[in-house]
């Protein structure tokens, strides 16, 4: 089931219930920056890639699948309630292959050694679904990340300090991982962390949920 965000409570009045279809604390913290009332629900989606599916195609498909899965869940939990669901997924790509979350220290070491001195593309997709209006919009935001040449000692030091084992690519750019990088190229600066807020805000407006209007009418627009 869903649970309230730590930042806000579900919207009341004419606004739909906003739902983040993700258990990622990084995405929750990013969405909280918009100061919108929302709840969080866990999508039940098989994240295995399909045969021949590119990393970008995988991210797009999973973002929409997560949003639709949570929309179906909310239809059961909150029948008749107008909801807007945000789904997102990120897949890193190197040499045309997806790079997942390492999960362990050893896999993180192997990932960073492989990416040392090279460019990796992080495909971050976001989908906004509003079933009552038949709206389903999905976009993808690519981020090109160039790693500097990394030695084994600094890889080991970084991993012991930041422990980024739940992050694709084994680096947290919002913390110490930025020291591993030579450059980041993107039109949407939060995309690399996991939720492109420029694209998300645009899709929300297209779905009839303007963040600034919502804050003004729910009494959340305060200093």
Catalytic option among 89, 187, 188, 210: 89
Name the pTM for this structure.
Answer: 0.88
**For residues 215 and 35, is the Cβ–Cβ distance under 8 A?**
yes
192 within some domain: yes
Tell me whether residue 41 is exposed, middle or buried, using C-beta atoms within 10 angstroms of its C-beta: 0 to 12, 13 to 18, 19 or more.
buried
> Which has the closest alpha carbon to 86: 221, 215, 201?
201
DSSP string, 173-212: TTTGGGGGEEEEE-SSTTGGGT--HHHHHHHHHHTT--HH
197-215 pLDDT per residue, tens:
999 999 999 999 999 999 8
Residue 77's domain comprises 3-218
123-160 pLDDT per residue, tens:
999 999 999 999 999 999 999 999 999 999 999 999 99
Stretch 154-181: mean pLDDT, rounded?
94
How many domains is the chain partitioned into structurally? 1
223 within some domain: no
Here the CATH number for the domain that contains residue 65 is 3.90.950.10
pLDDT range class, residue 168, cuts 50, 70, 90: confident
Say if residue 28's pLDDT is above 50: yes
**3-class SS at 214?**
helix
145 within some domain: yes
Phi, psi of 32 (to 5 degrees): -60, -20
Is 89 annotated in the active site?
yes
């Amino acid at each position: 089931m869903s649970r309230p965000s730590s930042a806000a409570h579900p919207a009341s009045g004419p606004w739909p219930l906003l739902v983040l279809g993700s258990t990622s604390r990084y995405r929750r913290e990013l969405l909280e920056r918009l100061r919108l009332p929302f709840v969080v629900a866990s999508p039940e989606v098989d994240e295995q890639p399909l045969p021949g599916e590119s990393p970008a195609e995988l991210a797009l498909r999973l973002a929409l699948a997560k949003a639709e899965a949570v929309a179906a869940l909310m239809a059961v939990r909150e029948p008749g309630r107008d909801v807007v669901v945000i789904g997102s997924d990120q897949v890193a790509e190197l040499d045309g292959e997806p790079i997942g979350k390492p999960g362990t220290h050893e896999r993180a070491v192997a990932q960073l050694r492989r990416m040392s001195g090279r460019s990796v593309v992080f495909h971050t997709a976001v989908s906004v679904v509003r079933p009552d209006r038949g709206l389903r919009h999905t976009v993808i935001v690519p981020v090109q990340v160039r790693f500097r040449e990394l030695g084994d000692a600094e890889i080991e030091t970084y991993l012991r300090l930041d422990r980024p084992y739940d992050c694709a690519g084994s680096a947290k750019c919002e913390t110490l991982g930025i020291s591993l990088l030579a450059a980041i190229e993107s039109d949407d600066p939060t995309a690399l962390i996991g939720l492109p807020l420029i694209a998300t805000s645009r899709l929300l407006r297209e779905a009839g949920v303007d963040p600034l209007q919502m804050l003004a009418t729910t009494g959340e627009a305060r200093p």
